[in-house]
Structure 1
Amino acid sequence: MASAVLALAFSFPVYAQGNGKGKGHQSSPPSSNALPNPTAGGPTTSGASPFGWVDDASILGPGTMALTVSAMRWAGTDLSEVDFPIVDLSVGLAPRVQLGASIPRIVGSADGTGPVGGIGTSYISGKYVVLTGIPSGVKLAVAPMIQILGSGATQALPPGEGKTQFGLPVSLEISRGPARLFASTGFFSRGAWFAGGGTSAQVSPRLGMSMSFSRAWANDGVSGFSRDRRELSGGASYFVRPHLAVFGSLGRTIATSDANGAGTTVSGGMTFVVEPSAIK
């Protein structure tokens, strides 16, 4: 989902101005996997929430708010998961500062053998722009975040491990006309690392498209057990009105085992953007 609406974030300035796996299952759904998930949360950057960590280095303007409501379906080899609603809220506090939160609801399986229902892994995040891109077109941002694992992901942790951890993504963005390149990397305090990047293009004042690749991995130095997930995703966003956009994305893991969340993710939703002039 993050890839899908990096395009949305790029569109906004243009258009506005003109339980674990479950019994007997091999697959591990996103809600029961402790690895950071790039499709978690809604649109990134200036389009909405900053919680897809494969992000660019843009933020909302001061006083601007963005609310995203979305849904996601993941399908693995022998298990599937639906998240609805996923609610993301972000607010621009200052020219270089943005805050936000992302809270998903996991739809539990009726027979109790699938994903654990309830509130999924949630995020509280800040974002600070170190380089604004003026005049070079190169931006740099850091986005410290707190990750609160949902019930399913908590069950995958060793006994005694807490459900809260700290993450620090660093994002780079290069803009050239209607196109942008972006990349992110960072870590979570429990020992997980991540990296990814992609490109987005402004096809028209209303339509944006993007694609990205991401990888998350973690190694247990004691047992030698390692986790690794790679995902390729792409999507599009369309502004129905100057401050209302719809978006959709498709993601697929590659070179990833079932135990680490191999599968296909389809997501979609809408974003409402409110600028200061609209609330005076």
Structure 2
Amino acid sequence: MTDDRVAVVAQTLTPPSSRAVQAGLKAHPRIANVIAVGSGKGGVGKSTTTVNLALALHRLGLRVGVLDADVYGPSVPLMLGLSGRPESTEDKKIIPMRALGVDTMSIGYLIEEDSPMIWRGPMATQALTQFFNDTLWDDLDVLLIDLPPGTGDIQLTLAQKIPVAGAVVVTTPQEVATLDARKALAMFEKVNIPVLGLVENMAVHVCSACGHAEHIFGQGGGQAMAARYNVPLLGSLPLDAAIREQADAGTPIVSAQPDGVISQAYVALARALVERLATRPRAQIALNTLGS
């Protein structure tokens, strides 16, 4: 390990048990915990973070899936090197596409790569609920839902119709990004989805030639926001060309360079997320079973 600040051994974790979801909703029978990954604005690396986080969770021994809920700009298929249409069963259930040990579903598998999604809000939200309910997820410990930027129709549908154990908000350190991330955080709180923590992406760039560390997008924005809203900062991730290059190549950094410092930062983030999830109340289904 070359950097004690992020070095972490990828030891397996005990799979997290089901945690409480919004009142009036029932947990998915094959998914222990749904975690929404959101941001207030685009361009903060939310999808890249989601995919690498999923691979880091899988590396820790969990069964993981990713639902790409950004129907207008799906990027999960590209990042995982997947193409083609998913198969379906006789009763019209969708078999998820699988890569690097992770189950996935995305509108990107059902449309041509360059085709725009000219859909009104109700069509987009219907696609989200259909993908969640009609995909044959493989008894997952965690399903990450990669949300589109903002606080619109899809986020509202998520709160009303999909049982979510918690949310993660991705931001960059700069003030304009944290300003929008605060809106996402406030939105989750208003719809009674607990925010498990923040992820500060592109926190620092280390020059590959000289080793000089530079905070290109500012410093301390994520930590200040976490303190202001009393939520944990789950991790700070670097700004590095390799992260983008590996995502574009369909082999995310956690898979391509599993022993590297950057991958270890994602593994540390995954571990912090699971530990935070474990502090949440258990699902009522489990409690009722114990009491029966």
User: Which bracket does the TM-score occupy, shorter chain normalised?
Assistant: 0.3 to 0.5
Q: Scaled by the length of structure 2, what TM-score is found?
A: 0.33
Would you tell me which structure has more strand in proportion to its own residues?
1
Q: Scaled by the length of structure 1, what TM-score is found?
A: 0.33
Q: Which has the higher contact order (CA 8 A, sep 6+)?
A: 2
